[in-house]
Amino acid sequence: MTIDIVIWAAVLLVLLSTLLSSVKVVREYQRLVVFRLGRVLQAKGPGIVFLIPIVDKAVWADLREIFLEIPRQTCITKDNAPIDIDFLIYSRVVDPALSVVQVNNFAGASQGIATTTLRAVIGDIPLDDVLAKREDINRVLRSKLDEVTERWGVKVTSVEIREIVPPRDIQDAMNRQMSAERNRRAMVTESEGKRQSTILVAEGDKQSRILRAEGERQAAVLQAEGYALALERVFGSARKIDEKTMVLQYLDAMKEIGASPSAKYFFPMELMEFLKPLRHYVERSGAGEPEEGRDRKRAAAGSRPGPQTDSPVADVSPRATTTAADASMADAPLE
């Protein structure tokens, strides 16, 4: 009796363990690839999946994105420069059945294909482009790796180059080149700044000269207008001055001239007017003959024989010439 109970308990335990092993709970990011009698079925999940004991065998597949770190690889560029590169590969499973059936070790296979693809891509690019066009290299690597891993049911989402290490001598040459380029840029920037400052100074000088000339022109115009206005006022005031005012001004001028310490001789015009009667008297007395005597002489001279002319005879004697010159000198004002 005891033996029968133990046997039945063992059978129940086996059945229970078999039943529990045939029930699988698949998470959202997982899939279950079922092989039934060696043949692959479609991937199952998420949720509860029932398997036939002994007949079905399940293989788990993870759909989450994973990354694969590729160690540093030495590559030769197009211009025969050795360079060390390490990068990361990001991928995820898009077909669980193919990822299980087509590839055994996806990590190892991806690392091998990534290494060969990297060397092929870097071999077609010069060193300067390798250092400057990192994004282009990432895009080319991703497309080439995606073409290979597509048959494995894996999608390469991104490839990121982490570090590029050129040889020491190339690094020194790059540092010298970078220093020379920076010095050139500094000199260009300095010369450009000097040129701009010179242009600005010249422009400011030109503007200041223009403004100064404009100010001088306006000042000259205003000064001329002031002079014209002053002359108009003086002329207007002079028109209203009578003879008495002029006489007073004349006397004031004579007083100022007389107060000067220098030796001057001043003859007023009125004195010349006073001397005119005396001058005429001197002229008449200097003739020496009365009018009647001169008339008789003219008549006697006319009765003499000789050539007759219709025009009267002009008196050109020295005495007459001297008298005319004295008269002209007397009419001129003395200064």
What global pTM score does this model have?
Answer: 0.52
- How much is the pLDDT for 325? 38
Domain, as residue range, for 145:
66-166
Residues 212 and 160 placed together within one structural domain of the fold: no
Given 166, 200, 225, which residue is the final one in a domain?
166
∠ CA 47-92-64, rounded to 5°: 40
* 42 within 8 A of 68, measured Cβ to Cβ: no
Structural domain contains residue 83: yes
Residues 58 and 83 placed together within one structural domain of the fold: no
Q: What is the CATH number of the domain that holds 91?
A: 3.30.479.30
- How much is the pLDDT for 284? 75
93-102, 227-236, 237-246, 296-305 — most confident range:
93-102
Residues 70 and 138 placed together within one structural domain of the fold: yes
- Residue 22 is classified by DSSP as T
Structural domain contains residue 5: no
- How much is the pLDDT for 266? 59
Residues 97 and 43 placed together within one structural domain of the fold: no
- How much is the pLDDT for 287? 56
Question: Is residue 249 scored above 80 in pLDDT?
Answer: no
Least confident of 14-28, 110-124, 248-262, 292-306: 292-306
Q: What is the pLDDT of residues 142-160, one digit of tens each?
A: 999 999 999 999 999 999 9
- How much is the pLDDT for 153? 92
Given 230, 253, 276, which residue is the final one in a domain?
253
∠ CA 4-8-10, rounded to 5°: 115
- How much is the pLDDT for 91? 93
Residues 73 and 143 placed together within one structural domain of the fold: yes
Structural domain contains residue 320: no
Cβ neighbours of residue 72 under 8 Å, at least 6 residues apart?
Answer: 84, 85, 86, 163, 165
> Rounded CA gap, 222 and 16, in Å?
121
Percent of the chain with pLDDT over 90: 35
Residues 86 and 142 placed together within one structural domain of the fold: yes
Task: Report which of residues 89 and 310 the model is more confident about.
Answer: 89
> How many residues does the structure list for the chain?
335
Given 62, 81, 100, which residue is the final one in a domain?
62
